[in-house]
Amino acid sequence: MNKPLRHIAIFCGLLVLALLIRDNWIQYVRAGELSTHERNKRVTIERYANPRGNIIVDGKPITGSVDSKDPFYRYKRTYIDGPMWAPVTGYASQAYDANQIEKLEDGILTGNDDRLFFDRTLSMFTGDKKKGGNVITTLNGAAQRAAFEGLGKKKGAVAAIDPQTGRILALASTPSYDPSSFAGYSGKDEKAWVALENDKNKPKLNRALREVYPPGSTFKVLTAAAALETGKVTDIDAPTDTPEPYILPHTTTPMKNHAQGCENASLNRAMEVSCNSVFAKLGDQVGRDEMVKMAEKFGFNNGEIDTPVRAAKSVYDKQMDRPGNALSSIGQFNTAATPLQMAMVAAAIANDGKLMKPYMIDHVTAPNLDVLEKNEPEEMSRPMSAETAQLVQRMMENVVKNGTGGKAAIDGVTVGGKTGTAQHGEKNKARPYAWFISYAKTDSGSPVAVAVIVEDSDATRDDISGGGLAGPIARDVMKAVVDSRK
């Protein structure tokens, strides 16, 4: 063989060797990655080749699948009361993928999870169609409906938790959307998706988990706990030596009160009528570092919480100055919290100081209903002693009996609550947010703690209040849970 031919032969041999290496690399090393790649259409086609398993509430499915007769995407996802349950389920779309539980538990719902290997293998021999498993939630259907209908046309969110276990009982967000409207990939589905993407009210935003707000006066229960835990207050009925007006430290700015009789008010009285001056002064006395420690025990600054749907991080500023800390102690300045976070605050108080980790999937099952995985209650932290928690309970129960939270009262049930009207926007000129956090207590303990925020409503600015707008929603959610336990 002459020299040029030998060079060509060697070059061709190297090309063949490179091709073999590349082929083996793709088939064996990257096989798993490519088989699940989002741009691999076979993945989507296979995902919708069979009916998905269901998401279950109160033993009944809130999802379904319908045969679309399409040669590629055979089954389309359907939802029962889709807008009500969207903050829980998320969506599963042939064109736009999935999110929330539909995404996180996709392996179980499609039947592709490794734990369902035996079921898939058995179906090959029996000739049965492959089936997906089911996701059984912790949600309470009556509480969810009370939350969703209570919000109605208002923009806002509700989170409800079982304080004793951390089970999420309700998770509502409005305005909402119907996941069925874009579950397919037709032109109609595309129009629905684009309309939602362009909607300035952000109906796809899960406000209960993914939006943070200034918590306003609902944060005062945390400041009260910090004052009691650090010994700054030892008697909740004793005068607090608070002047009127109270001047923020290192400033000439007076703290404005919207209530009467706040001068030298006791902690109990200050909670009842929501005195800004008393809690700002106490937050300053406790100090920024101790306030940060208390907030972090409740979950602030601790990163995102997986429920398993991820909740945004709530924040209590670690670097602010003294006047900033005083303002933060009444839930203003840089303080920001999700509705879930404030429900956790109420839940820890109701549970005598023990905070349970929130979760909304009880267990997942195979198609034959065998349990594959079950979540158990897990303690997250102990923000305060039982004695402190019980003193805060006394004050919150007084708020409902004699103070600003009267509209949350339930006959025959002990209710503790705290109202909040959070200022925000440039120079606090935007319409304030109306907050209410609460818990219900029966002879067997506290079955539910709730946080409600009304971000926007038809009420005039002067008529916006946590007790008036958010309190009745919290009452109806708590009553639904209490009634369901009878």
Q: Which residues are catalytic?
A: 217
Strand pairing category for 55-57 and 134-137: parallel
276-286 and 220-229 are packed helices; what angle lies between their axes, rounded to 10 degrees?
A: 40
The answer to whether the CB of 298 falls within 8 A of the CB of 384 is no
In whole angstroms, what is the distance from residue 215 CA to residue 396 CA? 16
Tell me the two tokens of residue 344: 């956790």
In whole angstroms, what is the distance from residue 291 CA to residue 318 CA? 9
In terms of Cα–Cα distance, which of 185, 207, 182 is closest to 195? 182
Q: What is the CB neighbour count within 10 angstroms for residue 123?
A: 17
Q: Dihedrals φ, ψ of 438, to 5°?
A: -165, 170
In whole angstroms, what is the distance from residue 188 CA to residue 191 CA? 5
In whole angstroms, what is the distance from residue 350 CA to residue 138 CA? 19
In whole angstroms, what is the distance from residue 226 CA to residue 133 CA? 46
In whole angstroms, what is the distance from residue 251 CA to residue 458 CA? 37
Q: Which residue has the tokens 């064109």?
A: 95
The answer to whether the CB of 241 falls within 8 A of the CB of 227 is no
Q: Which residue has the tokens 């000129």?
A: 429
Cα within 13 Å of Cα(135), Cβ side? 28
